[in-house]
Structure 1
Amino acid sequence: MKIGLFFGSFNPIHVGHLIIANTMATSTDLQQVWFIVSPQNPFKKNNSLLHEFDRHTMVERAIADNHRLKVSDIEFSLPKPSYTIDTLTVLADKFPEHEFVLIMGEDNLVQFENWKNFEKILEFYKIYVYPRPNTAPHNYENHESVKFVEAPLLDISATYIRKRLQEQKNIKYLVTDTVEAYIELKKFYI
């Protein structure tokens, strides 16, 4: 099975994430997209990061009605911070029957050469890239491992959602109803 891996903090997961994942699952040769909830991103220092189990639960709730989307806690048992190459290696060893593809926003290509062992990622994995607003130039337009996928250009951020919650403003339509209910129940981000 060909599976796209969508890494992120998902703090919280929002409709932008869901639209991208569903687009990748239904408009490419991927059979499934797995959300890889990252306990700690090496490039982000975020003191408003919820516990990984809460973020995993929110992803589960958000995708419950879509059999093409799954959530993984694979990084919870790996050393922190999480590095994509290490997770890819563990997944390839654990699921040799699957072919894994990395899903990435175009904005990440700009700093991709700062990633641990980025050359190995390019050598052994395909990368499906979705457009992001205001992306700086990068060197991957014609790289054989990089495929650009037409997808909606979305500029919704978890930071914006957390700010709205801190200001006690409505987040309807930015997250699913199930995620909104969970955030309200747990009183997250206030």
Structure 2
Amino acid sequence: MNTTLRTGYFGGSFNPIHEGHIRLADRACQLGLVDEVWFVVSPKNPLKPTADPDDAQARLAAVRDALAPYPHLKATDFEIDKPLPSYTADNLNLAARLYPNRTFVLIIGGDNLDDFTRWKNYEQLLRDYDILVYPRPGASNTIPQGWHRVTLLDGPLMSISSTEIRQKNTPKRP
């Protein structure tokens, strides 16, 4: 009897979390590609050094609140207390060692696929993990040749982004 859970590892700032994040994760579960998804709130994206995300604990609380109606979607603080910079490859490898009853599947948006070769140890991620990519408007949404463990999810393109939400909620200066 196989008791291994296929667990989506969906890292991000989630500043703020929005319907697009939730629909992406829920879609991966609906398609049977994963059993559940961990929303891994990151303290800071190492590829966005100028970004100043709101307090990580506050973002984690917001993610927990947003995911409350979805028992198969979980918020986790797995990366929050890690030393900076915090890299997906290091954290995903640690999660795989700490939770041997889980098979982790990396979940990213199509915009991250375009920059994936800039990620630390991206070759190791491509070799050791299945990767699910949700298409994003404006992204190439094209899987490079030879990336055999990468799957483009079938789903509607959503034009919502955390950046747009933050910009709309930022008061205009006179």
TM-score, with structure 2 as normaliser: 0.90
SS at structure 1 position matched to 2:124 = helix
**1 CA distance for matches of 2:116 and 2:70?**
30
Q: Which amino acid aligns with 2:8?
A: G
**1 CA distance for matches of 2:54 and 2:10?**
18
TM-score, with structure 1 as normaliser: 0.83
**2 CA distance for matches of 1:23 and 1:138?**
19
Indicate the residue corresponding to 1:149 in structure 2.
153
Give the drift of 1:57: 0.2
**1 CA distance for matches of 2:85 and 2:131?**
21
Q: Are residue 30 (structure 1) and residue 34 (structure 2) matched? A: yes
Indicate the residue corresponding to 2:133 in structure 1.
129
- Picking from 65, 85, 94, the partner of 2:69 is 65
Give the drift of 1:148: 1.2
Aligned-pair Cα RMSD in Å: 1.6
**CA displacement 1:32-90 (0-9 Å, x = unmatched):** 0110100010011213x111000000000000011110011111121212101001111
Q: Which runs of 4+ in 1 moved over 4 A?
A: none
Count of residues in Structure 1 that have an aligned counterpart in Structure 2: 167
1:109, 1:140 within 8 Å by CA — same for their partners in 2?
A: no
SS at structure 2 position matched to 1:34 = strand
Task: Report percent identity of matched pairs.
Answer: 40
1:20, 1:152 within 8 Å by CA — same for their partners in 2?
A: no
Q: Which runs of 5+ in 2 are unaligned?
A: none
**1 CA distance for matches of 2:42 and 2:13?**
5
Q: Which amino acid aligns with 1:72?
A: T
Q: Which amino acid aligns with 1:127?
A: I
**CA displacement 1:72-124 (0-9 Å, x = unmatched):** 11111212121010011110111011000000112212211111011100111
Give the drift of 1:132: 0.9
More helix by share: 1
**2 CA distance for matches of 1:137 and 1:3?**
23
Q: Which runs of 5+ in 1 are unaligned?
A: 169-190
Indicate the residue corresponding to 2:123 in structure 1.
119
